[in-house]
Structure 1
Amino acid sequence: MNQLKKGFPEGFLWGGAVAANQVEGAYLEDGKGLSTSDFAAYKDPYAGGEVNNFTFNVSSQELLEYTANESGYLFPKRWGIDFYHHYKEDIRLFAEMGFKVFRLSISWARIFPTGMEEKPNEKGLKFYDLVFDELKKYGIEPLVTLSHYEMPIELTKKYNGWQSRELIPLFTRFAETCFERYKDKVTYWITFNEMNMNLNSLYTGAGTLPDLVSNQEAAAYQASHYQFVASSLAIQIGKKIMPQAKIGCMICRLETYAETCNPEDQLQALKEDHINLFYPDVQVRGEYPAYMKRYFAENGIEFETLPEDFEIIRSNTADFISFSYYMTYVTKGGPDAKELSGHLVSKIKNPYIKLSDWGWPIDPIGLRITLNKLWDRYQVPLFVVENGLGAVDTLESDETVHDPYRIEYMGEHIRQMKEAVCDGVELMGYTSWGCIDLISCGTSQMSKRYGMIYVDQDDRGNGSLKRIRKDSFFWYKKVIESNGEVI
């Protein structure tokens, strides 16, 4: 027998992750167009005592109001943390931590301002050239997401986002442009961030105004189908341009537990797991699974497809599965099962684990379970590309930030990743989410901080933008130096 694995492999990709719409700012600079994320208005997340007041859905009426009265609202993703002008400083700090990889995304609207131009915006392309060159200076590999919760807002206005097949060639032109431009600078790519977000927020995941569709669940699967085709075509194009490239898919992974050992609860957990795994089933196995065909039939879900779509999907599968992991989910069977499911945070509380400040279950062992489950099912390399703790951090008078809760959270998850590697899982790397403080995706807050680098800015965009190393910064540096042996 081969010798048992005892830890992370040599060359393991340690690093951090951000998204363009949450960090870049400069929302109209150098020819960039407006994107869907530029219309995510800040709303008091504590209104009514609810800390999970998600703000990432936008209706057609809200979009009209925001467009007509932009000065009457705050749009934090428009200013981000001004990575656009601070990227050299930020990358230098990532290098100081010892990053081997940095996950970032390319703003579609920075390259094609409306998404419909024939030629790309050269100034937008040049910005990412500068970022990739800066990463190379420090020996940091870029991991690039093509579509991370933003698209040109004009595509929402004209096509209602991914409800239209017309977006497929527009996206593949964007992808091909990026592949051709950065083929010598980027090896690792992800086509769509958390494609299963379509089921939770049509606007965020698909650029679709939910009040303009008759059946939101059917609309989510319509968008997903077009994205499957677009992703597969992008992989096909990418492999021709960059034979050495690794192009992966991504999901938001919610490991699902049954509330009890009641067979009905167990069956419901299986069904909900199927919904989650549907996305890598299509993108890695190359076909729609039978369980989803049954689900569509029994729930009256219909959407447009073409026969050739399935050959495209079958012939161009992902090289690896990347996923975000923040929490686990509890479900149960019975007549109210459907009402309880379909929420980002389960309505059923798990008494065995504690919650974050935002009510998110903290379950490191669940990460080991999910890694094993995904590896057993797919036998392709895995990549944890988002994992982190959103918390309220305090900047002390001596400009220090003590965040032992973040160190504990990350440490416990890394320990469970190590256990999974010893179980035999092939794990490529780990990029902690929000390695530097950024604008929250779901609440547009700055005060929900994930980073190991503090950014002096409040929810309304006030502050010096000074970057300050937290205690977790120095801790993570040691983790990387030891390849996960010192945690």
Structure 2
Amino acid sequence: MNTKFAAGFLWGGAVAAHQMEGGWDADGKGPSVADVLTGGSRGVPRRLTETIESDEFYPSHEAIDFYHRYREDVALFAEMGLKCFRTSIQWTRIFPQGDEDQPNEAGLKFYDDLFDELLKHGIQPVITLTHFEMPLHLARRYGGFRDRRVVDLFVRYARVCFERYHTKVKYWMTFNEINNQMDLSNPLYLWTNSGVTLTDQDDPREVLLKVAHHELLASAQAVAIAHEIDPELKVGCMIAYVPSYPFSCDPDDVMTAQLANRERYFFADVHVRGQYPAYARREVAAKGYDIGWRDGDAEILAAGTVDYIGFSYYMSTTVKAGAYSETRDAGRPPNSVDNPYVPTSEWGWPID
């Protein structure tokens, strides 16, 4: 048995900028959608607050203070033998509100310095353009990715990043875990992914599909721009990989699992193939949904297919037709049931 990685294999670690940097308002950084989310734990849900409440704990505000101590941490990464390090750029360090005319030079310089430090230690940066931290201003003023204008603002931000860092960063991703928001039973995903909150007048599924369309367009345009700036750049998509097993061989359970997996893989299908799968087109047409489709969108999607698929794997789930629980653990779909063949973590997640 071969027990060695192939030459060139990138063994590393991964984080999210808002979960580690801290410095949430340092050097001109603006507030993000992450900065108004309180801490939580199993049984204690996180809250989205209208303003910063002085008696609440906001994890993104201090985190581990990587913003000020990254050199120490990168040196430790090198001691561990890391060959790559995946993190993200905080959009609000570059464009604090998201719609300014010019980027924030202090934010740009921070990432220059971080990438230089990684490269000095022989560590390849793998960079996500946005990881659950879009500008709060874009969420509050525009309704997040409901509004197609935010597509243009994201694309402009992506261009700034590619132009500035293309000689230092070869591997990129556009949106982190873009498919999380398909789970409409947890509205927090729409907020963290897309800066969207639902109203009583909304059809949640229609809003989701419009947001998805706008983000797929934004991602495709970013990929095309990266390749235009530097053909050597590799730009991928990133999904949460949570495969669903049928609880039994009952055809209804099998179909439930197939549909659950289809929801999970929808975004990757479009990113890779450059077009909507037939089942998605049928749903939009049958329901009469307005997803913001315009002439030319098909060409944009086709021209911006990704170079690779990134994914995070947390657990598997087991689903059963007709099952529904409003108290299921976070991350598990509401029609999930316990898998009697695998243990679970303290969070109730299957260890598989």
Q: TM-score range by the shorter chain?
A: over 0.9
CA separation in 2, counterparts of 1:239 and 1:213?
Answer: 41
Q: Label 1:213 to 1:78 Cα distance change in 2 as closer, same or farther (>3 A).
A: farther
Q: Structure 1: give runs of 5+ residues left out of the alignment.
A: 46-50, 364-487
Indicate yes or no: 2:178 matched with 1:195.
yes
1:96 to 65, 79, 82: 79
Deviations 1:3-25 (A, max 9, x none): x9876322111010111110111
Indicate yes or no: 2:343 matched with 1:360.
no
CA separation in 2, counterparts of 1:161 and 1:212?
Answer: 17
Identity in percent: 43
TM-score (norm 1): 0.67
| Pairwise CA distance, 1:242 | 1.4
Deviations 1:145-186 (A, max 9, x none): 001001111001111101100101100111000001101100
Indicate the larger mover: 83-92 or 303-312: 303-312
CA separation in 2, counterparts of 1:227 and 1:309?
Answer: 12
**2:274 corresponds to:** 286
Larger RCO (CA within 8 A; separation ≥ 6): 1
Amino acid at match of 1:31: G
Aligned-residue Cα RMSD (Å) equals 2.2
Amino acid at match of 2:340: P
CA separation in 1, counterparts of 2:275 and 2:325?
Answer: 26
**2:126 corresponds to:** 143
Indicate the larger mover: 172-181 or 293-302: 293-302
**2:186 corresponds to:** none
Amino acid at match of 2:193: G
CA separation in 2, counterparts of 1:276 and 1:354?
Answer: 23
2:10 to 13, 17, 34: 13
CA separation in 2, counterparts of 1:7 and 1:270?
Answer: 36
Deviations 1:351-370 (A, max 9, x none): 1111111111111xxxxxxx
3-state SS of 1:220 partner: helix
| Pairwise CA distance, 1:217 | 2.3
CA separation in 2, counterparts of 1:194 and 1:358?
Answer: 20
Indicate yes or no: 2:30 matched with 1:33.
yes
Match runs of 1:284-363 below 5 Å: 284-297=272-285, 301-333=289-321, 335-336=322-323, 344-346=331-333, 347-363=336-352
CA separation in 2, counterparts of 1:108 and 1:312?
Answer: 23
CA separation in 1, counterparts of 2:75 and 2:288?
Answer: 53
CA separation in 1, counterparts of 2:134 and 2:201?
Answer: 19
**1:132 corresponds to:** 115
Deviations 1:158-216 (A, max 9, x none): 11101100101100111000001101100000000000122231101111122376122
3-state SS of 1:139 partner: coil
**1:434 corresponds to:** none
**1:118 corresponds to:** 101
Indicate yes or no: 2:167 matched with 1:184.
yes
Q: Structure 2: give runs of 5+ residues left out of the alignment.
A: 184-188
Indicate yes or no: 2:59 matched with 1:76.
yes
Deviations 1:230-274 (A, max 9, x none): 000001111111110100001001111000011111111111111
Match runs of 1:135-174 below 5 Å: 135-174=118-157
Match runs of 1:366-445 below 5 Å: none
4+ residue runs of structure 1 moved beyond 3 angstroms?
A: 4-8, 294-302, 335-343
CA separation in 2, counterparts of 1:215 and 1:78?
Answer: 33
Indicate the larger mover: 7-16 or 154-163: 7-16
Deviations 1:442-465 (A, max 9, x none): xxxxxxxxxxxxxxxxxxxxxxxx
Amino acid at match of 2:122: G
| Pairwise CA distance, 1:342 | 12
CA separation in 2, counterparts of 1:230 and 1:342?
Answer: 32
**2:197 corresponds to:** 209
**2:92 corresponds to:** 109
CA separation in 1, counterparts of 2:8 and 2:295?
Answer: 42
| Pairwise CA distance, 1:341 | 10
CA separation in 1, counterparts of 2:311 and 2:16?
Answer: 14
CA separation in 1, counterparts of 2:234 and 2:329?
Answer: 32
Q: Label 1:258 to 1:17 Cα distance change in 2 as closer, same or farther (>3 A).
A: same
The aligned length equals: 345
CA separation in 2, counterparts of 1:175 and 1:54?
Answer: 32
CA separation in 2, counterparts of 1:199 and 1:119?
Answer: 34
